[in-house]
Amino acid sequence: MSARRIRAYGAHVALLAALGLVAALLVTAAPRLSNGYADRGLRADVAQLPHLVRDVSLAVERPAPAAAGQADLDRYAAELPQPLPGLVDRRWYAASLDEQRLVAIGDDPPMDGGARKEFGLRAQTGVQDAAELTAGRWPRTGADGPAEVTVSATVAETLSLRPGQSLRFIGQDGTAQALLVGVFEPRDAADPVWDDLQQALNPIFPLLDGDPYIVVGITDWAGVDAVSAASGVPAVSGWRYRLGEQRLDTGTLPAVTAAVAETRRMQWAGATVQTSLDTALARFAEQLYAVQALLAVVQAGLIASLLGLILLAARLAVLRRRDEFALLRARGASLSAIGLRTLAEAAPVQPLAVLVGWLAGTRVPGRADGVPWLVLLLAVLTTAVVPVLAMLSQRQVAMVAGRADVARQRPSVRRLTVEAGVLVLAVLGVVLLRRRGLDPAEGVDAYLSSVPVLVAVAAALVAMRLLPWPLRLAGRLAVRARGALLFLGVARAGRGAPVALGPLAVLIVAVSTGVFGGVVATTVSAARDRAATLTVPADAWLTGYTFSPDAADALTQVPGVQAVARVWVDSNRRLLPETGAPARQIGTARVLVVDAPAFAEVVARSGVEVDVPAALRAAARGDGPVPAVVSPKVATDVGDRAAVDVQGRLYEFQVAEVADAFPGVGLGTERFVVLPWQAMPEYEYTPIIPNRYLLAGEDIDEGRLLGVADETQRQRQSAVLGVAVTRTQQPAELQSRQAYREGLDRTGANDVLTLAFTAGAAGGAALAVLAVGFAVVADAAGRGRMLSRLRTLGLSAGSGRRLLVYELVPLVVVAAVTGAVVGAALPRVLGPTLGLSAFVPDVPLGYHLNPLVAGSVLGLVVLGLATGLAVENLSNRRMRLGEVLRLGEENA
């Protein structure tokens, strides 16, 4: 019997099953996708961290022999707090002599370069496997012989070294003899084994006259002991442990962060621990928790909309069968019998549909997140909702059927109480949410995550109470219009014919969820655009070590380059009082020296929204202090005038403007001074040397530009050293504003953020359209009877569709506008609760409503009306409107 009833009411059963399947798929797939994206973002962020941040390093000064520290490599790894021992992927032990304490002198022949050579030595595990000898052999220091050393081909070329050459290392207490025995090339310079040996691969060249070379050579354990004993420079033993990023996931993120922090607090037999991985992980966790809070809000909106549709579908099924249930009650059936009858129809179908949705969700790539309790609740809900509503509908048996097309004018006290309770819960939730915030680290709070949904439902209740009044006025005006269609449509809408509250609430929640995601996406995007403009205030930044003073002329000859502006920027420059004041250091600041007129031209040609202050543009060279733009903290410290160190020379400046940020200084810089280059005095032999250039241009030949830039760097370095330089200390790099902006979208938990936006927009739109379809189907029978009567009076099919449009327009427009207002207001109401600042680097947020989002709401209204017309046509075909009046069937 139940199988035949399932076939008889197959449309209603299938609708509930489809909604249950979609809901199960959503609650299963969304967490898996979120976890998968979050894990991928975590691993990508950790992989990009500098080794001083991501690796756990221990260092201690210890007496010879240096080789003894190898035995502690595995022991220290095992003593790391859990779960770190299982996450260690690679490990190294090294013994080193600080390059700042040793000066090398070459004998027979002497080393080239002229400047002082600060030469460090290092013995480290894994080096020989990661390098290939190009000349000589690896060190094998004897008991009584000199320390043997190998150097990279770059160091050998820079200092004119070759195997067999004698070296002397001068330390604080003596001189050590050494012999250069080999030259090597790294197999892969990006291998982590070279992280602590960057000066061995890329020696530091002198920047100014008097600056030294800084290089590092490779020796063995005995060589470290020999040089340390003879020079008096103590050897430092170090153990470095790299955590494999592929072994990390966000599920263990709190435990790993706590373990790294505990490692820094532990006592390691006098060794100091160096790592900032816990800080980096905490920063990622901040982003992750913020995006999880957003995703929880969006998912709550989507689930609430789906649950509303499930309730509407169940109510529709019960309304279609009310005569059947009334007949059963008249024949003596109890409420439990009616419940068991409908339960027997739902039990074979609904749990199976939810199971299929869950299985489909588990196929989505990602990591599962605990027991799927929501799926079990969905199975129970979709199975029990029709039986429960059926029993509730038959608590009182009426002998006379009422008019289904007239809404109750005076709501019951119970209903008013429920609506007032929803309003109170929404207001209370907003207050609590602003005070406490959403912190998924402490577990998702179902109530606080549902506050946006409660606000949308409260808005729906208010709209329902206010909607009849303008519709009544519109109905009075429609009486005067030609024809009866407008009057009939407005009148039916005013009476609440399309089961007003249910579809209206679902529609408002769905639209508000989509608009909320759109506003958040626009806000984050606008802030990132601002961050990109402040970081790269032109089409591109050209960064190097030191360029020749006339490099601008050569750069402008590169195809695609339209304008350039020379820049010098450096951090931690001394701030001193003006001339005549007591010589005391006020502090330090980041200093940016820029050719302001050229900067203004570059900005104009690049089309970026940057305002170059007039005080900088109009500044000219004179005898007095130069005008400057400073940060508020610097302005507080220096007053009106001060002096700042620029490349070793003090320049006096006068504060012309105070700004919270300045393009090119760097995001989050709290202490900065910006000076106009064209107003600063320069001399022939001590010019200000640029280390950056701002570029404006399109389709710039990047390869040729970098080649020209490196050539100007070599010219500058050759002029300082007095010898020809064939390698640059730091190859020039070109960073475009567009590339930087795109990089912001690939950092941290951004993929999860995108998932939240996409789910909110796409899911909200789809559910809104379904809600309109339900509004039409809910009163399809009543509308069919009305159309049959009107057709006997000559109503055409086109006029019938117009009547539906007149009826639906108030519902859809009010719901769309209310949902859009709620969705746009929620980010402002919730404010810092959303934690959006975690996704934008040091830029203030300003909430924006993208015109495309507003346009999409209008498009959603049109789509909803089109959907309503399509559903109406399908319903009319199935009901055969010509038979409705003749048969007198209420539930056709």
Domain boundaries, the chain: 56-243, 467-535+740-892, 540-739
Q: Distance between CA 23 and CA 381 in Å, rounded?
A: 11
Q: What is the C-alpha separation between 223 and 176, in angstroms, rounded?
A: 10
The residue that leads in pLDDT, 326 or 787, is 326
Between CA 250 and CA 368 the distance in angstroms is 12
Strand partners, 215: 119
DSSP helix, strand, coil percent of the chain (3-state; round to 5): 55, 15, 30
The per-residue pLDDT of the chain, averaged, comes to 80
355 or 469, greater pLDDT: 355
Confidence of residue 42 (pLDDT cuts 50, 70, 90): confident
Q: Tell me, what's the pLDDT at 467?
A: 73
Range name among 256-265, 424-433, 582-591 with the lowest pLDDT average:
582-591
Give the Cα separation of 255 and 86 in Å (integer).
13
| pLDDT per position as a tens digit, 551-572 | 888 888 888 889 999 999 998 8
Identity (one letter) of the amino acid at 282? A
pLDDT at residue 5, as a whole number = 67
CB 458 within 8 A of CB 422: yes
For the segment 321-325, the average pLDDT, to the nearest whole number, is 80
467-478: b or e for each residue (b if 16 or more CB lie within 10 Å)? bbeebeebbeeb
pLDDT band at residue 148 under the 50/70/90 scheme: very high
* Amino acid 791: pLDDT: 66
Predicted confidence band of residue 221 (pLDDT cuts 50, 70, 90): very high
Q: What is the H or E stretch that residue 679 is in?
A: none
pLDDT bucket at 497, cuts 50 / 70 / 90: very low
Helical packing angle, 373-393 and 350-362, nearest 10°:
160
pLDDT at position 273: 87
Q: Is the pLDDT of residue 407 over 60?
A: no
pTM: 0.77
pLDDT of 44 higher than 60: yes
DSSP lists the bridge partners of residue 164 as none
Calculate mean pLDDT across residues 841-845.
75
What is the C-alpha separation between 813 and 808, in angstroms, rounded?
8
Structure tokens at 227: 């040089």
pLDDT on residue 408: 46
Tell me: the pLDDT tens digits for 685-714? Answer: 678 888 899 999 888 888 888 888 888 888
Sequence letter at residue 386: V
Q: Are 797 and 887 in contact (CB under 8 A)?
A: no
How high is the pLDDT of residue 444?
Answer: 58
Assess whether pLDDT exceeds 60 at residue 440: no
Q: Which residues of 830-854 are buried (b: 16+ CB within 10 A; e: fewer)?
A: beebbbbbbbbbebebebbbbeebe
Q: What is the percentage of the chain residues whose pLDDT exceeds 70? A: 82
Gap between the Cα atoms of 720 and 732, Å rounded: 18
Look at 227-241, 312-326, 550-564 and tell me which has the smallest mean pLDDT: 312-326
* pLDDT at residue 878 in the model: 55
Question: Tokens standing for 799?
Answer: 């006029």
